[in-house]
């Protein structure tokens, strides 16, 4: 057994020895298609020469400088690329080492914003059930992943409460129109503001497209404008977590561009650095930053590896490759192909209840009975079986259980790199389909 603490202590995972393009190679020399980019991280695949060159060049010049004393060129350049053109009014960036840290930073910056405005009574956040904002205690408090929260519930902050997600497959009532469902969800958010006291709420936190917990659940048209209208009515912030769904994953650089809203604070991470270095961060609206600039002039937060020179250099190279190789366009085109292939393969499958997603971010939800949407017994661990059958066929996907409530439900995610080819998309769906069938036959 390994001396390294793995996610499972009962069996060591396969060793990934090297990566090249869309493939990872294990200790037996087998080529595995990384069809989910790990956890929707490897947006350029593995071993992109331009990114590796940028990391080496940064190491040759500056490996580390503490931000209490210095800034660095790679961090300044990365901020210019992301918010120099002020997308939607976002004007400033803060860089850390993960999506969890990014959510922590967003929570703290949002709280301090209201202190700067002289509104210290604002101490509450509203988020959504079956969401995920990270694994630190603050981010876990914000998230609604019941399975991950359960062991640590006594340690979680009471400053967070949760409303229903926009989960049309199971949440929308029979005969209820999209507009009626959105109106009902907006009413639920308004009711939570009233329950807490509208002037005590700092903001509403949501994943623009829900990630691993709910499996690529997209919002219905008009949902986010309706949620933002509630926030605006009470002077609260809209905080959008695009750690998994953003930075091109859904076909536009920011997924909120497709929703008709602009967040006050946006969290980014996975597609920012593509897995080449640990990096995450927040993008902040000029209106929010204005309160700091006119007030204390300081953000009371920080990390040792904040705006790390090598991490920022890697992310900068990733963003330049995305632009130079026109990969947002490819993500849209190959995303449409992935959707079509999944529909062709599973559209009438008796054990696939829903196929959902956007861009190169797709999931299928498994059901025991398509008509009733009944789930498989969680003890069967169907999602894990799909993962293992996929691996046996040279495919890595991203499975998850507890889709519905943290215990019941299974889904699996496919999130290939933005430079995936049409032939690779077809192979991914072919192998994934065979894995699903084998997993079901083995029950």
pTM of the complete model: 0.98
Whole-number CA gyration radius for the chain: 21
d(CA 234, CA 160) in angstroms, rounded, equals 17
For range 355-380, the mean pLDDT: 98
Contact in structure between 225 and 363 (CB atoms under 8 Å) = no
- Length of the chain as a residue count: 443
Look at residue 249 in the predicted model and tell me its pLDDT: 98
290: how many CB neighbours lie within 10 A of its CB? 13
Mean pLDDT of 312-340: 98
For 293, residues 6+ apart whose C-beta sits below 8 A from its C-beta are: none
Coil, helix or strand for 411?
Answer: strand
Convert the pLDDT of each residue in 111-127 to its tens digit: 999 999 999 999 999 99
- What's the pLDDT at 289? 98
Q: What is the DSSP string of 178-213?
A: HHHHHHHHHHHHHHHHHHH-GGGEEEEEEESB--TT
Q: Burial of 326 by CB count in 10 Å (0-12 exposed, 13-18 middle, 19+ buried)?
A: exposed
Handedness of CA 369, 375, 376, 382 (dihedral sign): positive
DSSP result, 237-298: EEEEE-TTTTTTTTSSSSGGGGTT---SEEEE-HHHHTTSS--EEEEEEHHHHHHHHHTT--
CA neighbor of 360 nearest in space, from 344, 343, 336, 340:
336
Q: What is the pLDDT of residues 226-280, one digit of tens each?
A: 999 999 999 999 999 999 999 999 999 999 999 999 999 999 999 999 999 999 9
**In the predicted structure, residue 68 carries a pLDDT above the cut 90:** yes
Q: Are 420 and 57 a contacting pair, CB within 8 Å?
A: no
Among 40, 223, 203, which residue's Cα sits nearest to residue 106?
203
Identify which of 431, 360, 421 has the alpha carbon closest to the alpha carbon of residue 395. 431
**Which tens digit of pLDDT belongs to each residue from 161-199?**
999 999 999 999 999 999 999 999 999 999 999 999 999
Distances (CA, A) of 341 to 226, 362, 370: 33, 11, 20
Confidence of residue 110 (pLDDT cuts 50, 70, 90): very high
pLDDT for position 77: 98
Mean local confidence (pLDDT), 201-223: 98
pLDDT at 1 over 90: no
Q: How far apart are CA 246 and CA 290, in angstroms?
A: 25
Q: Looking at residues 7-21, what average pLDDT do you find?
A: 94
Per residue in 379-417, pLDDT tens? 999 999 999 999 999 999 999 999 999 999 999 999 999
């Amino acid at each position: 057994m390994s001396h390294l603490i793995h996610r499972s202590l009962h069996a060591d995972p396969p060793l990934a020895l090297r990566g090249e393009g869309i493939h990872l190679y294990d200790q037996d020399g087998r080529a595995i298609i990384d069809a989910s980019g790990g956890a929707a991280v490897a947006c350029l695949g593995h071993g992109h020469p331009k990114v590796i060159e940028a990391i080496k060049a940064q190491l040759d010049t500056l490996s580390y400088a503490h931000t209490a004393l210095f800034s660095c060129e790679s961090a300044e350049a990365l901020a210019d690329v992301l918010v120099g053109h002020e997308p939607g009014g976002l004007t400033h960036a803060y860089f850390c080492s993960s999506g969890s840290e990014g959510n922590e930073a967003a929570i703290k910056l949002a709280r301090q914003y209201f202190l700067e405005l002289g509104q210290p009574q604002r101490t509450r956040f509203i988020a959504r059930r079956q969401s995920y904002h990270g694994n630190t205690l603050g981010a876990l408090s914000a998230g609604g992943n019941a399975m991950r929260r359960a062991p640590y519930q006594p340690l979680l902050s009471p400053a967070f409460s949760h409303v229903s997600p926009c989960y049309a497959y199971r949440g929308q009532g029979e005969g209820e129109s999209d507009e009626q469902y959105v109106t009902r969800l907006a009413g639920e958010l308004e009711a939570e503001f009233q329950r807490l006291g509208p002037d005590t709420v700092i903001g509403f936190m949501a994943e623009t497209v829900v990630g691993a917990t709910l499996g690529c659940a997209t919002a219905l048209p008009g949902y986010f404008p309706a949620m933002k209208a509630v926030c605006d009515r009470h002077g609260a912030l809209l905080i959008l977590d695009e750690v998994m769904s953003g930075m091109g994953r859904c076909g536009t650089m920011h997924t909120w561009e497709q929703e008709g809203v602009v967040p006050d604070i946006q969290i980014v991470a996975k597609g920012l650095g593509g897995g080449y270095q640990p990096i995450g961060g927040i993008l902040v609206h000029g209106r929010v930053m204005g309160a700091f600039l006119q007030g204390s002039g300081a953000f009371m937060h920080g990390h040792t590896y904040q705006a790390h020179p090598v991490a920022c250099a890697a992310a900068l190279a990733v963003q330049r490759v995305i632009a130079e190789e026109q990969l947002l366009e490819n993500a849209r085109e190959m995303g449409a192909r992935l959707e079509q292939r999944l529909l062709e393969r599973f559209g009438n499958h008796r054990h696939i209840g829903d196929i959902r997603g956007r861009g190169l971010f797709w999931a299928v939800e498994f059901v025991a009975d398509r008509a009733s949407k009944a789930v498989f017994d969680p003890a069967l661990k169907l999602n894990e079986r799909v993962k293992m059958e996929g691996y046996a066929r040279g495919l890595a996907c991203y499975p998850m259980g507890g889709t519905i409530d943290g215990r019941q439900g299974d889904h699996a995610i496919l999130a290939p790199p933005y430079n995936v080819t049409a032939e690779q998309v077809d192979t991914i769906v072919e192998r994934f389909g065979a894995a699903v069938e084998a997993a079901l036959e083995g029950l």
